[in-house]
Amino acid sequence: MSQRPCVLITGVSTGIGLDASRHLIANGYRVFGSVRKAADAERVQQELGEQFSPLLFDVTDAPAIAAAVEQVQQALGDAGLCALVNNSGVSGAAPLMHVPMEEVRQMFEVNVFGLLQVTQAFLPLLGARSNCPHAPGRIINISSISGGLVFPFVGAYGGSKHAVEAFSDALRRELGIFGIQVSAIEPGNIRTPIWEKSPEADTRFANTAYAPYMAKMPALLAKMGREGAPPELVSKTILRALQAPRAKSRYPLTPLWRVSRLFGDSLLDRLTKSAMGIK
């Protein structure tokens, strides 16, 4: 196996994770990528070739993560990882007044607790240990515009991404003693297969005051997907964060991130409600 620098990316079966794996391999990296299904592991392996190594684990499954750490460690020896890209995540739309708590907990389990669990497990391979034989690696967390600006009906998702922002800040400040740099990438809408599913209207809220808005949600999500940026935008930013002598703490990929810091809450309330069709 070639002595390429090695990166671990979570959630590579489709979308940003798959495109980032392809882009990094094309730019001289070896990629370990997590998937949840054996069929996806085989498919992605065939597509990306010998510089890709699939890892079969869910970010909420501690024993499977531990097995993946051992697999990567055996493959790398003393070389270590040059980066961990925490990409796995789930989303959803529902009014906070009525969303079932199990859905909120599951979103945090994947987007927040899973991210930290994977990070803790792989930190020794990134150089967070005494007498480490290799240079320190980097951590890149895929956050979202929702980590700074939350639209109606995505409050649970936005809350989880706010937590990712907080974890990124704390990890960056804590892991400096090992020389490990931490960045958060904050995309807006990205064209990925998740938008192509075009879910039907969520009828659970048909007897609530939010029924008219939830009925419009499938069409709105489809429109957001069509108008989203290509996943290459995120992949190229990951590469920049990997190769910069000093990585930025944040990489906002939509003007909304900066604009949201200039407007007051009243104006933002009007703009976000208008965007979601709320009167």
Would you please indicate which residues are annotated as catalytic (active-site) residues?
157
Cα radius of gyration rounded to whole Å, the chain: 19
Residue labelled with tokens 């994947």: 110
Distance CA 119, CA 65 (A): 10
Which 3 state secondary structure label does DSSP give 53? strand
CA atoms within 13 A on the CB side of 207: 1
Measured between alpha carbons, how far apart are the two ends of the chain, in Å? 59
Residue 110 tokens read as 């994947």
Extended strands (E) in 122-278: 138-142, 181-186, 250-252
3-state secondary structure of 32: strand
Q: Count other Cβ atoms within 10 Å, centred on residue 162.
A: 17
CA distance 201 to 151: 18
Buried b (16+ CB within 10 A) or exposed e, 2-23: eebbbbbbbbbbbbbbbbbbbb
E strands, 121-257, where?
138-142, 181-186, 250-252
Measuring CA to CA, how many Å separate 248 from each of 21, 168, 186, 198, 257? 21, 12, 12, 35, 15
- Structural tokens at position 221: 């999500």
